[in-house]
Amino acid sequence: MPSHRTHKIVTKLILSEEYPDVHHWIDEPVKLLGFQHRVLRHSPLELMAKYGSDPKRLAAAVIHVATDFAVTEARKELRKQIRRRV
C-alpha cells in the first residue's frame, strides 16, 4: 500500500496539487480493516458519489486508486521475479 506521501507526490505531479483530504478520506477505513480497507471507498461509484461535483477532487481520487493498483501489481510482479531466482 503506497504511503500518503506517495499519493500526494503522484497527485501533485499530475494535478499540481496534493489533495490530502481526498487521500485521507479514501484510506480512512484502513484503521479498522487494514489492507482489506480497499473494499470501501475505492470503487468508481463511491468516488463519484463523494466527489462527482468537484472534478479536480474526483481526478485526485481516481489517481489515488490507480496508484494503489499500480503499486500493488508492481510488488506482486517483483515477488514473482524474486521467487523465480530462488
CA angle 45/68/3 to nearest 5° reads 125
Q: Per-residue pLDDT averaged across 50-68, rounded?
A: 97
| Domain total in the chain | 1
What per-residue confidence (pLDDT) applies to 63? 98
Q: Taking 90 as the threshold, does the pLDDT of residue 86 lie above it?
A: no
| Closest CA relative to residue 2, chosen from 74, 83, 79 | 74
As a whole number of angstroms, the distance between CA 4 and CA 72 comes to 15
As a whole number of angstroms, the distance between CA 41 and CA 18 comes to 18
